[in-house]
Amino acid sequence: SERKLAEAMEVNRSTISNVLDELKSEGVLISRGSKGTFVANNTWSILASTSQPNWKKYLDQGIHKPNQTTIQMINKYEFEDGMIRLGTGEISTDLFPTEYVNEIMSNITLNSLNYEEPLGYKPLREAICKYLSKFDIELKPEQVLIVSGSLQALSLISIGLLQPGSTVFVEKPSYLKSLHIFQSAGMKLKEILMDEDGIDLNDLRKKLNKSGTNMLYTIPTFHNPTGIVMNESKRKQLMEIIKEFQLPVIEDDAYADLWFSKAPPKPLKSMDDSGSVLYTGTLSKSFSPGLRIGWIAGSESVIERLGDIKMQTDYGSSSISQLIAFEWFDKGYHERYQIGLKSSLKSKCKLVLELLSTHFSDIAKWQKPNGGFYIWVTLKKDINMFKLFEDALKSKLLINPGYIYDFNENNSIRLSIAYATGSELEYGIRKLSEIIRKYY
Ligand code: PMP
Cα 373 to middle of ligand 1, angstroms:
12
Cα 280 to middle of ligand 1, angstroms:
9
Contact 208, 192 (CB under 8 A): no
Contact 310, 118 (CB under 8 A): yes
Report pLDDT digits (tens) over 135-188.
Answer: 999 999 999 999 999 999 999 999 999 999 999 999 999 987 778 899 999 999
Question: Can you say how many angstroms the Cα of residue 134 is from the centroid of all Cα atoms in its chain?
Answer: 26
Q: Which is higher by pLDDT, 5 or 74?
A: 74
Question: For residues 136 and 144, what is the distance between their CA atoms, to the nearest angstrom?
Answer: 15
Interacting residues of 100 by C-beta distance below 8 A, sequence separation 6+: 328, 331, 333, 336, 337
Q: Ligand 1 pocket test: which of 75, 147, 151, 176 has the largest number of ligand atoms within 8 Å of its C-beta? A: 151
Q: Which is higher by pLDDT, 129 or 27?
A: 129
pTM score? 0.88
Interior/surface letters 127-139, b for 16+ CB within 10 angstroms, e for the rest: bbbebbeebebeb
Cα 150 to middle of ligand 1, angstroms:
6
Cα 291 to middle of ligand 1, angstroms:
13
Residue-level pLDDT at 34? 79
- Is 293 a pocket residue for ligand 1 (Cβ < 6 Å)? no
Cα 29 to middle of ligand 1, angstroms:
55
Residue-level pLDDT at 4? 57
- Bridge partners of residue 282, in order along the sequence: 294
Contact 293, 322 (CB under 8 A): yes
- Is 224 a pocket residue for ligand 1 (Cβ < 6 Å)? yes
- Is 149 a pocket residue for ligand 1 (Cβ < 6 Å)? yes
- Is 428 a pocket residue for ligand 1 (Cβ < 6 Å)? no
How large is the ipTM?
0.99
Among the ranges given (43-52, 123-132, 396-405), the one the predictor scored with the smallest mean pLDDT: 43-52
User: Which residue owns the Cα nearest ligand 1 atom 15?
Assistant: 149
Residue-level pLDDT at 5? 52
Residue 6 has pLDDT above 60, yes or no: no
Cα 134 to middle of ligand 1, angstroms:
21
The candidate with the shortest Cα–Cα distance to 372, out of 408, 341, 410, is 341
Residue-level pLDDT at 400? 97
Question: For residues 328 and 124, what is the distance between their CA atoms, to the nearest angstrom?
Answer: 10
Residue-level pLDDT at 263? 96
- CA-to-CA dists, residue 33 to 17, 30, 38, angstroms: 16, 9, 10
Would you list the DSSP string of 59-80?
HHH-SSPPPPHHHHHHHHHTTS
Question: For residues 320 and 161, what is the distance between their CA atoms, to the nearest angstrom?
Answer: 29
Cα 222 to middle of ligand 1, angstroms:
12
Contact 257, 267 (CB under 8 A): no
Report pLDDT digits (tens) over 257-316.
Answer: 999 999 999 999 999 999 999 999 999 999 999 999 999 999 999 999 999 999 999 999
Cβ-based neighbour number of residue 383 at 10 Å: 15
Instruction: Looking at the CA of residue 151, tell me the nearest atom of ligand 1.
Output: 16
User: Which residue owns the Cα nearest ligand 1 atom 8?
Assistant: 89
Q: Ligand 1 pocket test: which of 224, 293, 419 has the largest number of ligand atoms within 8 Å of its C-beta? A: 224
* Strand 294-297 versus strand 412-416 pairing type: unpaired
- pLDDT mean across residues, the chain: 93
Residue 55 has pLDDT above 80, yes or no: yes
Report pLDDT digits (tens) over 360-392.
Answer: 999 999 999 999 999 999 999 999 999 999 999
Among the ranges given (99-113, 240-254, 356-370), the one the predictor scored with the smallest mean pLDDT: 99-113
Residue-level pLDDT at 20? 83
- Pseudo-torsion of CA 198, 202, 208, 214, nearest 10°? 10
Cα 28 to middle of ligand 1, angstroms:
51
* Strand 144-147 versus strand 294-297 pairing type: antiparallel
Instruction: Looking at the CA of residue 294, tell me the nearest atom of ligand 1.
Output: 15
Question: For residues 279 and 139, what is the distance between their CA atoms, to the nearest angstrom?
Answer: 11
Q: Ligand 1 pocket test: which of 74, 78, 150 has the largest number of ligand atoms within 8 Å of its C-beta? A: 150
Question: For residues 353 and 336, what is the distance between their CA atoms, to the nearest angstrom?
Answer: 27
- Is 156 a pocket residue for ligand 1 (Cβ < 6 Å)? no
Cα 42 to middle of ligand 1, angstroms:
47
- Is 373 a pocket residue for ligand 1 (Cβ < 6 Å)? no
- CA-to-CA dists, residue 345 to 40, 126, 340, 419, 427, angstroms: 62, 29, 9, 10, 18
User: Which residue owns the Cα nearest ligand 1 atom 5?
Assistant: 224
Name the amino acid, one letter, at 125: R
Q: Ligand 1 pocket test: which of 88, 155, 175, 404 has the largest number of ligand atoms within 8 Å of its C-beta? A: 175
Mean pLDDT over residues 328-332, rounded?
A: 97
Report pLDDT digits (tens) over 179-236.
Answer: 889 999 999 999 999 999 999 999 999 999 887 669 999 999 999 999 999 999 999 9
Residue 44 has pLDDT above 80, yes or no: no
- Residue % of the chain over a pLDDT of 90: 81
C-alpha Rg value of the chain to the nearest Å:
28
Residue 7 has pLDDT above 70, yes or no: no
Interacting residues of 135 by C-beta distance below 8 A, sequence separation 6+: 256, 266, 267, 269, 270
- Is 374 a pocket residue for ligand 1 (Cβ < 6 Å)? no
User: Which residue owns the Cα nearest ligand 1 atom 4?
Assistant: 254
